[in-house]
Structure 1
Amino acid sequence: MMHQEQASATSQSQALDLPPPSPGEDTPFLGDAQNPPLSSQPRTFANVFIAVVGAGVLGLPYCFKRTGWIMGVLMIFFVADLAYHCMMLLVHTRRKLESMSEIPKITSFGDLGFAACGPIGRTVVDLMVLLSQLGFCVSYLIFIADTLANLYLGSNIWGISSASLCIWGCFPFQLGLNSIKTLTHLAPLSIFADVVDLGAMAIVMCEELGIIVKKMPNVRAFAGPSMFFYGMGLAVYSFEGIGMVLPLESEAKDKSKFRGILAISMAFIALMYAGFGALGYFAFGEDVKDIITSNFGKGFISSVVQLGLCINLLFTFPLMMNPVYEIIERRFHDGNYCIWSRWLLVLTVILIALMIPNFADFLSLVGSSVCCGLSFVLPTVFHLIAFNGEISRIEWNCDVGIAVLGVVLGISGTWYALAEIFMVKA
């Protein structure tokens, strides 16, 4: 399930007779949104898994096809380690800033941006969160449309793209779901969706092992440098969940063990991603499709798995849009609910999804253009600002190096992902 990403800080009401605030960036996934209990280590592990793992994993076999399987595996572990390091930078930065008496409690990525850089810091974080959340929701629609078209409709109906018809078919359904003011009661669906994702991945991997045992096609280990940047974008997308690190650390019962739990969680996810991507490529070789489930045809088990994923993403869509609504309504509607702006945003997502021809290419674009900034550039910049003059030369060089790497990967990956998208459309 898609990573359960992020937004900006939700203000606390001081009047006892006012209703509690709607879920925002600092809303926990497992527990009471208003009075979250402290999380045990297993619960923290589950929260990290929910925050990071998403439908982007289904594009990894196609990514391995483009990059080569050894390069793909190396990229997965490299990005996992880098993402973990930057997540801990946010935790250290929050602790440093909160130790200053004039800094209020920091509950979200947006709060941290404000504490480090003032209004411009919050604006940059809000903008990147908004773009990344919209990108996630666009990828949901692309997956749903491509899957339903492959299963039931074929490539076109009466000369009209069946995938486009499926996207438009989601429109009225999403208008209704996204009109709900409080989405807390939909949160259990996110947990259920992660269970379905794990089940789907297990079924897919078992099917792939059967195919590999019968006959393994020719595969390549490495591709050219252009595919490196393309693959890095998709890998970064797959590990996007950095916006939830601060609230997860806040609700951890034993904060001294949070670092270890986070490291174990990221290592487990990296192993799962690498295995899933490699097995998918080994099973289908150069014939692997941008959504791996499309390679399994229309058998009963395959159809049930794909339909279950589609249903889950339909209900996850409004949860992923909620941080966008929180940002827009806070900035333009004084924090008040506005149904028209929500409907307009849903329409915007629909129109973007109609223009994107390939699921994996779009994941790479979002990962490069936005997630690199959120995951690598902003954490290191905020860390440098908070610890100005207090860190060693090695730490300073490391922060600067990661920030530069994030910028290079962002620019290069965006360029190559756009080239792939326009090449497919042509």
Structure 2
Amino acid sequence: MTVDSAALLTPASLARKHSHSSEDCLNTGQIGRYGDAHVGSTDVWRCILNVLLAVLGAGQLTLPYVMHQLGGLWQGAIALVVFTLLSMHSLKTLSYYELHFTPLGCLESYSQLVIRVLGSSGSLLCQFLLVFYAWGGAVAFLVILKAEFVAFFPSYGRAVLCGIACFLWRLSSCEDLTFLKKFSWLGCVVAVLITIVTVTAFVSPHGLTEQSLQLCSSSHEPSLLDVAAALPLISFSLNSSWAYIPVLCTLSDKSRTTSLIIWSNLLILLNYMFLAASGYCKFGKDVKPNIMDSLGQDQDFADSWMVRGAKVALCLQLTLALPLRFFVARKTIQDARPSLAGSNSSLALVLVFGATAAALPDISLATVLGIVSGICASMIIYILPAIVDLKLRPTISGSRLCGTDLANLLVSLLSLIVGGLILVGSLWANAMGVAVGS
């Protein structure tokens, strides 16, 4: 899941018109600023593309591994479908309250909706989630880069990562990163490219064998720890809630909201199904937490131009996306603590090299994403929208609480329970070291 393609949980305290705010600099062009002229200026298909740009990214790399952790192809496919439906419910809930509060305008960010319900405590929570989500995601990106650099340069791959960190530090210290918005499309393109490469590896003469077909049908009994470690990775890859409100703000015909939700999630699900199924069937129980590591070690396919090209494109995209993550974390901290407003370089130094130090040891991508998604994705997708719905819908509906309203409340209650289980289970599983190491 990318963070560099749309506005995140931007706290409402950030200046709306300030040209250097994290809100503006995260906004990479396909959504635009939140000025009134931009409200309702986009048709449903462009909004669908915006959601795809915001969601498709590095988070999908773990999905073949997730299928193995959940016990097999069918278990993984069912989990993907179920969590896609829960994600769609989250978006439907956000749509309901956006249109309730501002039928003719729009809320500026996800955090505005949370703050309306939770007040100042909601503001603090959103600031924490934004910093941890941006910085933790940066650690995950660096873990991926480290693996690719070590594969390309076995003797000094980690030294190359430290050199990249110096570049990231200087860039993350800047007051304006809007020039990076021209590269926002790369995340989506690279995600689709990796799916194509994985499917090609599976259907190639070397990949489509009797053994690979047996791997597709094989299954095992996963432990509770395996499931607890795997489910947050699905949540992370499906997290469109953080970017949805600014996308919905631009939708010209609000009656097409359901189409926006269904088609964007359907396309995301199809991409994930192809990647997860082909990757799992290709490598089975030997699949790595990062599918690119598995492709890179496949004797029949590792040296192909497709795999090498996908790896280079992935490294380029992540390197360009990382400064935006550190920038968002830095700006959020500075907005919360005005006394740090003039400490761009020193604060960026701590954030960048702290993340690099966390990524250098032999830590699995599944571990990093599991912790980040366990805390952040579970809150953003399931817990907070459910709390908003459970608290406000009875007040809005009053005595008319029945039928659709009641069904939505029941699903929100389920979403709250699922989010809580993911939050607790992922931290427990990763503390037990289930996904440590590649």
Partner of 2:164 in structure 1? 170
**Residues of 1 paired with 2:277 and 2:435: CA distance?**
27
Partner of 1:221 in structure 2? 219
Q: Which runs of 5+ in 1 are unaligned?
A: 14-18
For the structure 1 residues 338 and 84, does the alpha-carbon distance in structure 2 shift closer, same or farther, using more than 3 Å as the test? Answer: farther
Give SS of 1:317's match: helix
| Kept after mapping to 1: 8 A contact 2:67/2:76 | yes
| Kept after mapping to 2: 8 A contact 1:23/1:33 | no
**Residues of 2 paired with 1:31 and 1:368: CA distance?**
28
Give SS of 2:207's match: helix
Q: Deviations over 1:76-108 (max 9, x none)?
A: 1111110111122122123333479xxx96311
**Residues of 1 paired with 2:43 and 2:342: CA distance?**
34
User: TM-score of the superposition, structure 1-length normalised?
Assistant: 0.88
Partner of 2:187 in structure 1? 193
**Residues of 2 paired with 1:61 and 1:261: CA distance?**
27
Q: Deviations over 1:46-105 (max 9, x none)?
A: 1000111111211111222222221111111111110111122122123333479xxx96
Pairing 1:310–2:305 present: no
**Residues of 2 paired with 1:240 and 1:290: CA distance?**
19
| Kept after mapping to 2: 8 A contact 1:372/1:410 | yes
- C-alpha displacement of 1:214: 3.2
Of stretches 376-385 and 105-114 in structure 1, the one that deviates more from structure 2 is: 105-114
Pairing 1:212–2:207 present: yes
Q: Deviations over 1:318-347 (max 9, x none)?
A: 123333233112111279463122222112
Partner of 2:408 in structure 1? 395
Partner of 1:409 in structure 2? 422
- C-alpha displacement of 1:138: 0.8
For the structure 1 residues 323 and 335, does the alpha-carbon distance in structure 2 shift closer, same or farther, using more than 3 Å as the test? Answer: same
- C-alpha displacement of 1:41: 2.0
**Residues of 1 paired with 2:252 and 2:42: CA distance?**
5
| Kept after mapping to 2: 8 A contact 1:131/1:370 | yes
Counterpart among 60, 65, 72 of residue 63 in structure 2: 60
Counterpart among 6, 9, 15 of residue 7 in structure 1: 9
Partner of 2:299 in structure 1? none
- C-alpha displacement of 1:314: 0.3
Partner of 1:331 in structure 2? 336
| Matched AA of 1:30 | Q
- C-alpha displacement of 1:396: 3.0
For the structure 1 residues 98 and 193, does the alpha-carbon distance in structure 2 shift closer, same or farther, using more than 3 Å as the test? Answer: closer
**Aligned residue runs from structure 1 range 44-193, under 5 A:** 44-67=47-70, 68-98=72-102, 106-153=107-154, 157=155, 162=156, 164-193=158-187
For the structure 1 residues 12 and 129, does the alpha-carbon distance in structure 2 shift closer, same or farther, using more than 3 Å as the test? Answer: closer
**Residues of 2 paired with 1:367 and 1:206: CA distance?**
29
Give SS of 2:363's match: coil
- C-alpha displacement of 1:372: 0.7
**Residues of 1 paired with 2:85 and 2:160: CA distance?**
38
| Kept after mapping to 1: 8 A contact 2:47/2:247 | yes
| Matched AA of 2:356 | I
For the structure 1 residues 136 and 368, does the alpha-carbon distance in structure 2 shift closer, same or farther, using more than 3 Å as the test? Answer: same
**Residues of 1 paired with 2:361 and 2:167: CA distance?**
20
Q: How high is the sequence identity, in percent, across the aligned residues?
A: 18
Counterpart among 368, 377, 387 of residue 383 in structure 2: 377
| Kept after mapping to 2: 8 A contact 1:137/1:321 | yes
| Kept after mapping to 1: 8 A contact 2:56/2:187 | no
- C-alpha displacement of 1:409: 1.8
Q: Deviations over 1:296-328 (max 9, x none)?
A: 334141222201110110001112333323311
C-alpha RMSD of the superposition: 2.6
- C-alpha displacement of 1:379: 0.6
**Residues of 1 paired with 2:159 and 2:28: CA distance?**
35
